[in-house]
Amino acid sequence: MRIGVITFPGSLDDRDAQRAVRIAGAEPVALWHGSHDLEGVDALILPGGFSYGDYLRCGAIASLSPIMTEVVDAANAGMPVLGICNGFQMLVEAHLLEGGLIRNDHGSFICRDQVLRVENASTAWTGDFAAGQEITIPLKNGEGGFIASEETLDRLEGEGRVAFRYVDVNPNGSLRDIAGITNDRGNVVGLMPHPEHAVEAGFGPDTAAAMRSGVDGLGFFTSVIRSALVEA
């Protein structure tokens, strides 16, 4: 399986996302925001960072990039798309996911190992988890507060489209503790925390077993590989 990772001006975690894809057993393909070519990839990752210095609104200018035309078409045709942090903000700005992301309610940038509950384990990116499973992956953002109208929030909850919820601590004021959501088809997933930073023992979050041994993020990438096998 070939998974494209798109680099935008100001992307920071594109290399980490490529590495996570490789560790999970797929082939990462580096894609460029200014191109109109998805190079025949089977899935897409929009990585974290600060595209265009967060000018206008986080992810807003990147969501108007040339390659986003193809990303929107591919997402609407069912291709798995994962937006991490700034990538989540881009998916929201591109209207592939609902709601919006605003500055953290406490006004500060936050960086911590965050416990999440997997609320929907049937998306293209969460199939290897169990519903209700708690995972720990790093979170680092300044504008991660998820907001939407009450009506939209009720609909997201009712349709099972809240993919992840913050556990123990709500780190940024996200409404209803929402950390990530999915579209109705389950192929597009966006979340603020960073699964690509928890894929290799020695470099992940601390666990009860050993320091930096957490690899809970790997499941995102193995999930999408398995979902492609099921479809094939």
Partner 1 sequence: MPTIVVDVMPKPELLDPQGKAVAGALSRTGHGEIAGVRQGKRFELTVEGPVTDEVKAEITKIAEEILSNSVIEDVVNIDFGDES
Q: Does 127 contact partner 1 by CB under 8 A? A: no
Candidate ranges 4-12, 53-61, 130-138, 201-209; the one touching partner 1 (CB under 8 A): 53-61
Q: Does 157 contact partner 1 by CB under 8 A? A: no
Show the 3-state SS of the chain: CEEEEEECCCECCHHHHHHHHHHHCCEEEEEECCCCCCCCCCEEEECCECHHHHCCCCCCCHHHCHHHHHHHHHHHCCCCEEEECHHHHHHHHCCCCCCEEECCCCCCCEEEEEEEEECCCCCCCCCCCCCCCEEEEEEEECCCEEECCHHHHHHHHHCCCEEEEECCCCCCCCHHHEEEEECCCCCEEEECCCHHHCCCCCCCCCCCCCCCCCCCCHHHHHHHHHHHHHHC
Site string for partner 1, 185-224 (x = CB under 8 A): ----------------------------------------
Residue 57 Cβ vs partner 1, minimum distance, rounded to whole Å: 6
Q: Which of 103, 155, 212, 226 binds partner 1 (CB under 8 A)?
A: 103
Q: Which of 48, 99, 138, 204 binds partner 1 (CB under 8 A)?
A: 99
Give dist(CA 55, CA 76) in Å, integer.
27
Q: Does 160 contact partner 1 by CB under 8 A? A: no
Residue 97 Cβ vs partner 1, minimum distance, rounded to whole Å: 11
Active site residues: 85, 194, 196
Q: Does 94 contact partner 1 by CB under 8 A? A: no
Q: Does 64 contact partner 1 by CB under 8 A? A: yes
Residue 92 Cβ vs partner 1, minimum distance, rounded to whole Å: 8
Residue 103 Cβ vs partner 1, minimum distance, rounded to whole Å: 4
Q: Does 155 contact partner 1 by CB under 8 A? A: no
Cβ atoms 61, 49 nearer than 8 A = no
| Chain residues that interact with partner 1, rule: CB under 8 A | 56-57, 60, 64, 92-93, 98-100, 102-107, 145, 147-149, 173
